[in-house]
Structure 1
């Protein structure tokens, strides 16, 4: 049992953080380089969006399964196996690159990469309350979030330099090494685990566990359903627009280099890091009832991104504007995600936490593949500034709708 006086950075939590730094850096550098390589080789935003949408589907589908496994299997073992598996996946992709058709090979690799990540994150999320006391949940979530965003900062910046100078293959070897080293480090983590009997076969166990989490959400915490709807709407109308739109805007509309795109996406990581630091410092003073204002501010930053892409704006000024808005939107997103995660963790029984977190992640993200495919087609047919301004307007409406939802969730803490 942990107490509020116990230090957060004890051995096992520190090893989780260190393993996350290495693993997520490898993930970030690959998620930057692989889609960029596809966009550079094909020159098609529609194909770029379609492959990105296909890659996101396994992440949505694997998250609930990962939540079930996280509640029944030692979470340390899940992290180790999945990191070793990812290293093997990247090795296979490296050997096949140039020997197999690019588009199906890239789609298969990204789908597997995202699917593994979808199954991996519930184990990390479910381990946090086991390694940190109740009073440390917000700070512990902020630390994990800062690790994610630090990797998102360094991955694109270093990836952009390596990609521009040496091409894709060095990035593949770096990513492979990161996953292998992370798996080795995670072998030494000790996470408390209480085995639970399986309910028959694998499918029946998954069905029973997901049914258990659904009944808890529907009967005990129906506000979680409203939260999922808000997040799904935002992923559909805004997050998907930025995932597709930022590379298209920087590379194709503004004509910038790969290293400039790396700096822009690195600015997003820096924004997430700053948002995590801000959240860790403010801690319990942050309240979810202000979540709608945060989402509205994120919508305004997307509108600003569209404004700097208007005809007549110099490309250099446009790049600085897109980069600044990318930083700002990640500050806001991180503030909301950390506080929301802590609220859900604090209102969910420990034996359901992995499943419930995975259930929320899956439902919230289910709209992202649709959004990415739609925005890929829109960016190919319409001016980028018009697409981003339209996305910002739709996101602002979703932010207004979310006000009651966040107030209700905040009241249940």
Structure 2
């Protein structure tokens, strides 16, 4: 049962979801496991490079991405047929077990094939986990608290993701590879322990009634289709810019491009943190669709102008704006999808949302990489900015988006 008294449910503000014991436990465990994930992400390149070369690293990262995409539909289906909490629990325990096995794979008796198999399993289990995580939120919070809960959750995850590289770097410098993997495994065990203590306030129906399957709902809901389409296109045109075009641009235009890249990512992370928190407040505004479209226009204009911004302060400010827009857009889109989806198929809807955002990134990375190689990073920023503006125009033509 919830530890929130009836009069507390009407309390406004971002902190209202934290009054629910189940939500606190869920988020605390996931913040810890996110920190462990970031430590693993920092350590993985060094682990692979000690056993192989840059080509092997590219293969391992590809395997991780493929596993995530493949796991998302399975996770959504299991969340609807089983329960989001049980799916998350199995995924956390599974990841802990795989990481323990990877300790052996990175030892003298191990090798790249064993490491690759473990990477695929980790990606698969992460893909299974994500839809269940977003599907459990509406069972822990009241509808009016959902946007605030998503905002608080995302903000804490962003904070953990920002701290993770620093912690991971220190861990790799002071601990062995086996110890780093063991620490990451421990974070998943702790996360699993917190899930055991989570109790839903409202259980989702065990099965979907006739006519409420995912494809039937998708055919009826123009808003869902529009949000999924715009989320995928936004990934294709914007997100990959930060990982492909930006570092190359900075390396060409700054003597200390690596340090500047770190500053840029820090500025973007700060904006993202502010944006996720602000999203919990702006959700109360009417016509949220117009707000989202306006933020997309700002995002596109900033990307288009980025290569012409002088000095260092202006680009850093632009990164804050980009992060702010991304934070608001992600929470608003997530909350919108959660609220319009029938509880019986929420896991599968969140799986679709997860899959389109995950799958779009590697495709975008390849496309942006081709543009950078042939025309330079400046052209990539121009193409990316125009792409985001095109997404906003497409969205503006959809009545479902305008009235969201």
Structure-2-length-normalised TM-score? 0.80
5 Å-filtered alignment, 1:135-174, equals: 135-163=144-172, 171-174=180-183
Point out the more displaced range, 92-101 or 13-22: 92-101
5 Å-filtered alignment, 1:261-300, equals: 264-285=264-285, 287-300=288-301
Offset of 1:264 from its aligned partner?
4.6
Which residue does 2:74 correspond to in 1?
65
2:139 matches 1:130 = yes
2: CA distance, partners of 1:378 / 1:42? 29
2:88 matches 1:95 = no
Aligned length: 391
Which residue does 1:408 correspond to in 2?
400
Q: Deviations over 1:123-160 (max 9, x none)?
A: 12111111111111111111121122122221133334
Aligned in 2, Cα 1:228/1:35: closer, same or farther, shift over 3 Å? farther
Q: Deviations over 1:27-56 (max 9, x none)?
A: 233234435776999896x98767545432
Contact in 2 for aligned 1:232/1:364 (Cα 8 Å): yes
Aligned in 2, Cα 1:408/1:148: closer, same or farther, shift over 3 Å? same
Structure showing greater relative contact order (alpha-carbon pairs closer than 8 Å, 6 or more residues apart): 1
Point out the more displaced range, 273-282 or 53-62: 53-62
Which 5+ residue runs of structure 1 have no aligned equivalent?
A: 200-207
Which residue does 2:303 correspond to in 1?
302
Offset of 1:393 from its aligned partner?
2.7
Which residue does 1:205 correspond to in 2?
none
Which residue does 1:390 correspond to in 2?
383
> Which of 76, 82, 85 is the aligned partner of 2:85?
76
Offset of 1:176 from its aligned partner?
2.6
Offset of 1:87 from its aligned partner?
2.0
Q: Secondary structure at the match of 1:179?
A: helix
Contact in 2 for aligned 1:159/1:262 (Cα 8 Å): no
2:65 matches 1:56 = yes
Offset of 1:363 from its aligned partner?
3.3
Offset of 1:262 from its aligned partner?
5.7
Q: Secondary structure at the match of 1:196?
A: coil
Offset of 1:80 from its aligned partner?
1.9
1: CA distance, partners of 2:327 / 2:349? 20
> Which of 365, 379, 396 is the aligned partner of 1:372?
365
Q: Deviations over 1:275-332 (max 9, x none)?
A: 1221223341261222122122223343455446xxxx8xxx66x7665544432221
> Which of 5, 12, 18 is the aligned partner of 2:22?
12
1: CA distance, partners of 2:137 / 2:353? 17
Offset of 1:14 from its aligned partner?
0.8
Which 5+ residue runs of structure 2 have no aligned equivalent?
A: none
Aligned in 2, Cα 1:257/1:243: closer, same or farther, shift over 3 Å? closer
Aligned in 2, Cα 1:39/1:409: closer, same or farther, shift over 3 Å? farther
Offset of 1:92 from its aligned partner?
2.7
Aligned in 2, Cα 1:398/1:282: closer, same or farther, shift over 3 Å? closer
Q: Secondary structure at the match of 1:285?
A: coil
Which residue does 1:203 correspond to in 2?
none
> Which of 356, 372, 381 is the aligned partner of 2:349?
356
Offset of 1:194 from its aligned partner?
5.5
2: CA distance, partners of 1:264 / 1:157? 16
Point out the more displaced range, 345-354 or 237-246: 237-246
Q: Secondary structure at the match of 2:397?
A: helix
Q: Secondary structure at the match of 2:213?
A: helix
Which residue does 1:34 correspond to in 2?
44
Which residue does 2:213 correspond to in 1?
212
Structure-1-length-normalised TM-score? 0.79
2:33 matches 1:23 = yes
Offset of 1:255 from its aligned partner?
7.2
User: Aligned Cα RMSD in Å?
Assistant: 3.8
Q: Deviations over 1:35-78 (max 9, x none)?
A: 5776999896x987675454323322321221111122232222
Q: Deviations over 1:223-244 (max 9, x none)?
A: 3212222221221222223233
